[in-house]
Amino acid sequence: MPAIEQLVWGILLLPLISAAGITLFGLRRPRLAGVLSVGAAAGVAVLSLLVFTGTPFGEWWECSAEWLSVGELNVPVALRFDPLSLTMGLIVAWVSFVIHVYSLGYMRGDRGFGRYFAGLSLFLFSMLLIVLAGNLLVLFIGWELVGVSSYLLIGFWYQRPAAADASKKAFLLNRLGDFGFLVGLLLVWSKTGTVDISELECKLALDPGLLGSLATAAGLLIFCGVLGKSAQFPLHVWLPDAMEGPTPVSALIHAATMVAAGVYLLCRVFFLLALPGSAALELIAWVGAFTALLAAVIATQQDDIKRILAYSTLSQLGYMVMAVGASSVSQPPVAAMYHLSTHACFKALLFLGAGSVICAVHHEQNIWRMGALGKKMPVTFVTFLIAALALAGVPPLSGFFSKESILASVLESNVAARHALFAVAVAVAALTGFYMTRLVAVTFFGPERTQIAGQARESGMILTIPLLILAVPSAFAGFWGIDSAYASQFKGAAVEHAGVFGRIAAAFTHSPVATLWGLGAAIVGIVTGLAVYWNAATDRLPEKLGLVAGWARNRFYFDELYAALNEATHEFLSRLADGVDRWVISGIMVRGVHGSIELAGRLLRLTQTGNIQIHAVLLGAGIAILLLIVLRH
């Protein structure tokens, strides 16, 4: 496919050129920056659609350019186009494009307009590099670039200390995870001699014991990178703070790029994680489940509209990671990718909707200072509602299908304690319904709690049109068979070719237990949420739950715990360094040398009495010794 091969480089180069161009020429020219960046995003969206349609269903191909050749290590810039990367790339490209357009409106008049779009383009480029990378090293480069661009964008309003801190926090925690990833990468390379994904898969398929006892370690080290990028426990604390960035950036980070990269990586190297004898998957499943539950509980007690969404993202990511962990060779992680894709759409929509709300109420983010916005902002309200219901898993919206498939895959998984996992998953589903209901009920219904909420107006076209665009996949993505596209990636997964109604029916017939539990949980969550928060003036939950609510409100004190840990470690290391400096370097080395010389000096000084007779004695003794030596030999 030569025509396509020419096109694919464009997918990568367009955003890169845009980023470079804006940085070089467009920092002071907002119009140029906007045109370049949005144009690049549009180009990428079109190209990715062309490549997607140009590739026959279920097939894969690669193209590469020579790049790095050191000794035995040969790393070309290889791009891999298989169902996984194609579908993911398509979603990334389109969601990013919509967010780019939305940003035009949201960021209008900002002093750093050009800088913002440069960062956005770089972000898009790095994410596409991750998605399309044909070997792990290139993927890692994209991975790091995502870290850099997220740093740039979260700290976009660097004048605000909170934003600067948040960007540093995100970057550092990501580095922490990336280090594990890099070590895992080196481990894999040293054991197998290749970082090329297809080659690696072939080698491991031929000899599953190639990694030997290190299979688990390699899997978990790579998972470390996912911990950081997808903000899984215990590195989850950066994601809510990343809300300090502009809202479209939050949408980008939370939906299609950055956090999605972690789950995508897990699926990318799934063959590695699922090696026989590797215990990585089970651990991954539990980390994901714990993160999902933790974040969902925290989300119920947050007041900042963006923070609620942030914790919901955390929770959903935990869901996906859990789904990957619950997968196996015979049951590949299709559900996780499916949920990732639908989640990308409705979470982007939620964030953009939140941005629209925030704009309307003059950058107020506390939901308890809003209220009754539903009538004043109909477009935002309807799209937001669709996305919220999709997230809660209400049929026939997209979230329902993907969540159902995750629940089913957990229930049917090989993990020993799959019923416990399933219980966690159901609980999270219920909590998701609850906090989304809380968010919608408090924000869009109830009384006008403040004056600014009363004066809110619907946002302009440039903000609402992206909302409408995203509402379409949020609502209907369940009918498009995204899961079959992913399923064709993995051997052993059943590829269904069903119609729209077939899919709805399949959701119930395939695994009715899981579906009914999930649906029931969502309904319970929504009903409870309505009961507690309908027309509520204040949050009544803390009175009823007491301590738990307080803990959830304070994010279970993880930040404080980490701060204390950090401080303790820092203190300990400082004391250690101080001790070493004081006792070893200054004490033993400097003062020891000085002291021993002084001691020797003092000892020698005893002989230097100045008394000439003592000198004469010593002279005599010296001659005696010399004579002894000379005459004896």
Partner 1 sequence: MRVFVALVLQRPVSGSGTLKSKESAVNIGSSIEPVVFAVFAVLTLVAGFLVVANPISRNPVTSAMFLVLTILSVAGLFVLLGAFFLAAVQVLVYAGAVIVLFLFVVMVWGGDGVERGKLRKFAMVVGGASLAVFLTLLGGALTGAGQDTKVGLTEGGARSLGELLINRHLLAFELMALMLLAAVIGSVFLGRKDNK
Partner 2 sequence: MTVGLNHYLAVSGLLFCIGLAGVLFRRNLLVVYMCIEMMLAAASLALVAFSRFRGDLDGQVLALLVISVAAAEVAVGLALIVAVCRRGLKPTADELAGMKL
Residue 625 is a binding residue for partner 2 (CB under 8 A): no
Nearest alpha carbon to residue 81 among 20, 8, 138, 143: 8
Nearest alpha carbon to residue 447 among 360, 370, 351, 367: 370
Residue 614 is a binding residue for partner 1 (CB under 8 A): yes
- How many binding residues for partner 1 (CB under 8 A)? 12
Q: Give me the least distance between CB of 614 and partner 1, in Å please.
A: 5
Determine how β-strand 73-81 pairs with β-strand 61-70.
Answer: antiparallel
Residue 534 amino acid letter: W
Residue 612 is a binding residue for partner 1 (CB under 8 A): no
User: Of 190 and 608, which CB lies nearer to partner 2 in the complex structure?
Assistant: 608
User: Out of partner 1, partner 2, none, which partner does residue 68 contact, by CB within 5 to 8 A per kind?
Assistant: none
Q: Give me the least distance between CB of 625 and partner 1, in Å please.
A: 8
Residue 171 amino acid letter: F
68 vs 106, 137, 138, CA distance in Å? 41, 10, 10
Distance CA 442, CA 537 (A): 8
- The enclosing H or E element of 558 equals helix 558-579
Distance CA 446, CA 606 (A): 95
Among 613, 630, 632, 633, binds partner 2 (CB under 8 A): 613
Q: Exposed/middle/buried for 65, CB within 10 Å: 0-12, 13-18, 19+?
A: exposed
Q: Give me the least distance between CB of 595 and partner 1, in Å please.
A: 25
Determine contact, residues 89/55, Cβ cutoff 8 Å.
no
Q: Give me the least distance between CB of 607 and partner 2, in Å please.
A: 10
Residue 613 is a binding residue for partner 1 (CB under 8 A): yes
Which region, judged by CB under 8 A, interacts with partner 1, from 171-179, 301-309, 594-602, 621-629? 621-629
Residues in region 96-125 near partner 2 by CB under 8 A: none
**How many other CB atoms are there within 10 angstroms of residue 84's CB atom?**
23
Q: Give me the least distance between CB of 564 and partner 2, in Å please.
A: 57
User: Out of partner 2, partner 1, none, which partner does residue 618 contact, by CB within 5 to 8 A per kind?
Assistant: partner 1
Which region, judged by CB under 8 A, interacts with partner 2, from 140-148, 236-244, 245-253, 613-621? 613-621
Residue 620 is a binding residue for partner 2 (CB under 8 A): yes
> ∠ CA(455), CA(386), CA(497), 5° rounding?
160
Distance CA 400, CA 389 (A): 9
65: β partners: 77
Which region, judged by CB under 8 A, interacts with partner 1, from 268-276, 348-356, 565-573, 615-623? 615-623
Distance CA 142, CA 465 (A): 30
Q: Give me the least distance between CB of 628 and partner 1, in Å please.
A: 6
**How many other CB atoms are there within 10 angstroms of residue 316's CB atom?**
30
User: Of 378 and 601, which CB lies nearer to partner 2 in the complex structure?
Assistant: 601
Residue 160 is a binding residue for partner 2 (CB under 8 A): no
User: Out of partner 1, partner 2, none, which partner does residue 279 contact, by CB within 5 to 8 A per kind?
Assistant: none
Residue 605 is a binding residue for partner 1 (CB under 8 A): no
Q: Give me the least distance between CB of 588 and partner 2, in Å please.
A: 28
Nearest alpha carbon to residue 388 among 336, 347, 338: 347
User: Of 593 and 621, which CB lies nearer to partner 2 in the complex structure?
Assistant: 621
Residue 589 is a binding residue for partner 1 (CB under 8 A): no
User: Out of partner 1, partner 2, none, which partner does residue 213 contact, by CB within 5 to 8 A per kind?
Assistant: none
Instruction: Give the max Cα distance, the chain.
Output: 119
Strand, coil or helix: 125: helix
Among 213, 611, 629, 632, binds partner 2 (CB under 8 A): 611
Q: Give me the least distance between CB of 615 and partner 2, in Å please.
A: 7
169 vs 118, 174, 230, 255, 559, CA distance in Å? 22, 8, 14, 20, 11
Written as six digits, the tokens of 36 are 């370049």
Which region, judged by CB under 8 A, interacts with partner 2, from 138-146, 201-209, 391-399, 608-616? 608-616
Distance CA 513, CA 498 (A): 21
Distance CA 266, CA 88 (A): 13
Which region, judged by CB under 8 A, interacts with partner 1, from 60-68, 148-156, 358-366, 610-618? 610-618
Residue 620 is a binding residue for partner 1 (CB under 8 A): yes
Among 527, 576, 617, 625, binds partner 2 (CB under 8 A): 617
Residue 608 is a binding residue for partner 1 (CB under 8 A): no
Which residues of the chain form contacts with partner 1 (CB under 8 A)? Answer: 613-614, 617-618, 620-621, 623-625, 627-628, 631
Which residues of the chain form contacts with partner 2 (CB under 8 A)? Answer: 605, 608-613, 615-617, 620
